Amino acid sequence: MLYSTPLPYRADASAYFAAIRDLAWPAWLDGGGGGRYDILVADPAVTAEIRGERTEIRDASGVRYSNGDPFDVVRELLGEAILPMPDIPFAGGALGYWGYDLARRYAHLPAVASDAEHLPEMAVGIYDWAIIVDHQELNARLVSRLRYAGTERVLEQVLEKLRKSAPAARKGESFCVRGEVVSNFTSATYQNAFSAVRNYLHDGDCYQVNLAQRFSAKATGDAFPAYLELRRSSPAPYSAFLDWPHAQVLCASPERFLRVRQGRVQTRPIKGTRPRGADAAEDARLAEDLRQHPKDRAENLMIVDLLRNDLGKSCVPGSVQATKLFEVESYANVHHLVSTIEGGLRNGKSALDLLRDCFPGGSITGAPKLRAMEIIEQLEPHRRGIYCGVIGYVGHDGNMDTNIAIRTLVHSGGEIRCWAGGGIVADSTCAAEYQETRDKASAMLELLRRFGGEFGKNG
């Protein structure tokens, strides 16, 4: 059974999100930067959070725990699959994040980097309704599959909130970044890490390693206004804002990780970056240089091959194809080199199987994946947490869409953090790679500056 009620179309769905923010676990998968859909949810029927080996599951009956495989836990909570609905990407299911460090459940990684995140490695809600804003058809709907008792009553409350001319303002402290924004790498320590990667490459340990630096600052208050500023200054098709008890996550990701639609699989890895130019001529020159540069094309192709192999674990043999190679996509601050790989999901395999088989994304690890992750753990001072994991949904209908959680800020524990990285290959230069991380971080660092952040020699 599908519940569907039309709503006024809004090109900017922020007012809809503001209207439901007082409910538990609100989340906004934001396609306003070029994506087709906005998906807004709150008040999950069940929540699941993983810390280490244990999953805490909360629902109306109380709390229980599981030591099972995280993806199997989500599969159990989703229940029996149902048929998808045309033009409705999500009418209920699992929505949340699967953090980079969830990979420790499946890969024997050393424990070297400091865990300064103190967050669940996975946090998802099982939601029974969603607001869907379709920017292609210019319509909006409140939808549900009514799988839980009490959802009809909740839908009446949600409609009442949405019909109000203005949502009630949330009480609380205004968002403020306090003091200096600091990187976990100095230029000297980055050089040392870069040199170590180059040695591994030359010794044949790996072909590519994604090395990231982390920026952090003290912060207080509600980060929703900062997210609205981020989406204005850096619109991206796979953005998200999660406003959850343990963290606020502000994401402006340009990269799709995995999408499943009625058995068809797509991934769109990014590898290769240039800054935007100061004028139209310089901008066009930089974009063309990215499109044609042998190093960037080779780097991109390495990840295409890695992802083709990952998709092959869950897809029909022979169906996995790179349908587009080396396309340049332009965003507010950077140009990216993007390829598209597609395949057909094998009978007996689900979207969750695919996600587990491909996790984490190869574009943010390097190749071979496991060896690159071991080197990352050795050389990056802090664990990545949510960064370089995925944010998205797996519906009751078996469809899925997830991003790679890059261009992402995490506000928790009185601090806000963001990251930027780049793939290092044999002919990389330290200065260029370091600058690439700064180019990728520029919009996030400017956001922190606007909200009070100070920058010294290590910011």
Beta strands in 201-296 (DSSP E): 208-220, 238-244, 247-253, 256-261, 264-267, 270-275
Give just the sign of the alpha carbon dihedral 350, 51, 223, 182. Answer: negative
Q: CA of 17: how far to CAs of 162, 163, 250, in Å?
A: 9, 13, 14
C-alpha distances out from residue 174 to 58, 69, 169, 221, 226, Å: 30, 40, 12, 5, 10
Report how far residue 95's alpha carbon sits from residue 217's, in angstroms, rounded to the nearest whole number: 28
Of 345, 340, 23, which Cα lies nearest the Cα of 158?
23
Other C-beta atoms lying within 10 Å of the C-beta of residue 358: 23
Pull the structure tokens for residue 266: 């797509």
- The answer to whether residue 271 is catalytic is yes
Residue 23 DSSP symbol: S
Task: For tokens 């890969």, name the residue.
Answer: 107
Which residue in the list 49, 255, 342, 380 is annotated as catalytic?
A: 255
CA distances from 266 to 38, 240, 321 (A): 19, 20, 10
Q: Which two tokens stand for residue 109?
A: 């990684």
Nearby residues of 432 by Cβ (< 8 Å), 6 or more positions away: none
Q: What is the DSSP letter of 85?
A: B
The active-site residue, picked from 49, 117, 121, 271, is 271
Three-class DSSP category at 166 = coil
Question: From its phi and psi, is residue 385 left (phi > 0), alpha (psi between -120 and 50) or beta?
Answer: left
C-alpha–C-alpha distance, residues 236 and 248, integer Å: 18
Are 388 and 177 in contact by the 8 Å Cβ rule? The answer is no
Euclidean distance between the first and the last CA atom of the chain, given in angstroms as a whole number:
53
Let me know if 255 is a catalytic residue: yes
Alpha carbon distance 223, 206 (integer Å): 39
Residues labelled as active-site residues? 255, 271
